[in-house]
């Protein structure tokens, strides 16, 4: 074993102290800000995507409801249109009895006039039998036409859809 | 940076979706109103149309009542004529002044009733035509 040589300490060069690189505050701040910004951006992106998804779902729901409403409205309009057409057709069949009833009303007024004349002639002791018979003939003529028209009206009413209750 | 862009794009897309949703909701409300109006119109047509046959039935019945009153009047004056022909002029005169006058009044009343029924039916018909 060789003897250890001891160096003279005075000849030993003193090494300069190792300069440790210090973390600058500014870097920390910048890094922190960057992390915060990144986190914020991430949160913002996630939240925005979430809200976008929610809005998308809401829009889909709204469009589905709109589509369903479109169908319902279309059905309602079709029903209205069908009913209008059906009622127009019903009215076409109803016009005939109306025309007869109008004619019958006018005839009833004539009939009342004729009956009034008959009653007056009968009650008048000065009126001749001829005058009386003339009023009766006129009255009978109206009554015959009235009855014929009444029969026609009854038939027309019977054929009218939806008329409740018997006429006679 | 990229996350920010993604976020802003999502925001923009969300805004578009909301706009389209609002448009769909508004359109649906418009359609709902149209549906309600169509249902209301149909119900009104039904109501008015149902009234016409009912009124027309009443006209027919009133006309028959008027005819009955008229037949009664004829029976009465025939009775008066029989009395007259049998030589009972006083009896005949009493019939014409009493029973016949009453039968005539009845006939006038029934005739007016029939006319009123007809006018009501005509008004009902007009009411339907207004909504067609």
B8 interfacial to chain A (CB closer than 8 Å): yes
Check if the beta carbon of residue A99 is closer than 8 Å to that of residue A81. no
Taking the mean position of all CA atoms in its chain, how far away is CA A25?
69
ipTM of the shown complex: 0.78
Nearest by CB to A65, which of B28, B50, B92? B28
d(CA A29, nearest CA chain B) in Å? 19
Query: How does pLDDT run across B54-92, given as a tens digit for each residue?
Result: 898 899 899 889 999 999 999 999 999 999 999 998 999
Q: From CA A71, how far away is CA A58, in angstroms rounded?
A: 20
Check if the beta carbon of residue A157 is closer than 8 Å to that of residue A163. yes
Query: How does pLDDT run across B84-128, given as a tens digit for each residue?
Result: 999 998 999 999 999 999 999 999 999 999 999 999 999 999 999
Reading the block at residue B131, the tokens are 């909504």
Using an 8 Å CB-CB cutoff, list chain A residues near B13.
52, 55-56
Q: From CA B3, how far away is CA B21, in angstroms rounded?
A: 26
Name which of A39, A80, A134 to mutate to probe chain B: the one with the most chain B Cβ atoms within 10 A of its Cβ: A80
Classify A125 in phi/psi space as left (phi over 0), alpha (psi -120 to 50) or beta: alpha
pLDDT of residue A2 exceeding 60: no
By C-alpha distance, the chain A residue nearest B45 is: A84
What is the value of pTM for the model shown?
0.74
Please report the number of interchain residue pairs, chain A to chain B, with beta-carbon separation below 8 angstroms.
222
% of chain B beyond a pLDDT of 70: 100
Q: From CA B90, how far away is CA B80, in angstroms rounded?
A: 10
B118 interfacial to chain A (CB closer than 8 Å): yes
**3-state secondary structure string, B20-70?**
HHHHHHHHHHHHHHHHHHHHHHHHHHHHHHHHHHHHHHHHHHHHHHHHHHH
Nearest by CB to B46, which of A45, A83, A91? A83
Query: How does pLDDT run across A9-58, given as a tens digit for each residue?
Result: 666 666 666 667 777 888 899 999 999 988 988 998 899 999 999 999 99
Nearest by CB to A83, which of B21, B45, B61? B45
Closest of B59, B73, B69, B52 to residue A105, by C-alpha: B59
Domain ranges of chain A: 25-158
Using an 8 Å CB-CB cutoff, list chain A residues near B34.
73, 76-77
Closest of B107, B68, B73, B69 to residue A122, by C-alpha: B73
Q: From CA B10, how far away is CA A47, in angstroms rounded?
A: 9
Name which of B41, B43, B59, B124 to mutate to probe chain A: the one with the most chain A Cβ atoms within 10 A of its Cβ: B59
The better pLDDT of the pair B25, A125 is held by B25
Taking the mean position of all CA atoms in its chain, how far away is CA B57?
11
Closest of B73, B47, B38 to residue A87, by C-alpha: B47
Using an 8 Å CB-CB cutoff, list chain B residues near A154.
60, 64
């Amino acid at each position: 074993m060789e003897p250890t040589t001891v160096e003279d300490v005075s000849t030993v060069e003193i090494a300069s102290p190792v300069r440790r690189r210090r973390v600058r505050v500014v870097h920390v701040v910048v890094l922190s800000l960057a992390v915060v910004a990144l986190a914020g951006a991430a949160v913002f992106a996630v939240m925005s995507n979430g809200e976008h998804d929610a809005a998308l779902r809401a829009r889909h729901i709204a469009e589905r409801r709109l589509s369903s409403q479109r169908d319902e409205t279309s059905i309602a309009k079709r029903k209205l249109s069908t009913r209008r057409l059906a009622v127009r057709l019903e009215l076409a069949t109803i016009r005939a009895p109306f025309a007869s009833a109008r004619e019958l009303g006018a005839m009833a007024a004539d009939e009342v006039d004729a009956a009034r004349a008959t009653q007056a002639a009968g009650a008048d002791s000065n009126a001749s039998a001829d005058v009386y018979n003339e009023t009766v003939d006129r009255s009978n003529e109206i009554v015959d036409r009235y009855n014929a028209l009444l029969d026609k009206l009854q038939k027309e009413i019977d054929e009218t859809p939806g008329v409740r209750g018997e006429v006679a | 940076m990229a996350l920010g862009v993604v976020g802003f794009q999502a925001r923009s897309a969300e805004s578009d979706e909301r706009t389209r949703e609002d448009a769909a909701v508004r359109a649906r409300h418009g359609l709902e109103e149209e549906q309600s109006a169509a249902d209301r119109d149909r119900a009104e047509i039904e109501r008015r149309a149902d009234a016409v046959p009912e009124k027309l039935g009443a006209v027919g019945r009133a006309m028959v009542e008027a005819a009955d009153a008229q037949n009664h009047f004829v029976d009465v004056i025939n009775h008066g004529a029989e009395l007259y022909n049998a030589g009972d002029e006083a009896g005949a005169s009493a019939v014409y002044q009493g029973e016949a006058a009453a039968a005539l009044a009845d006939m006038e009343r029934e005739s007016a009733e029939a006319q009123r029924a007809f006018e009501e039916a005509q008004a009902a018909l007009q009411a339907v035509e207004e909504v067609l």
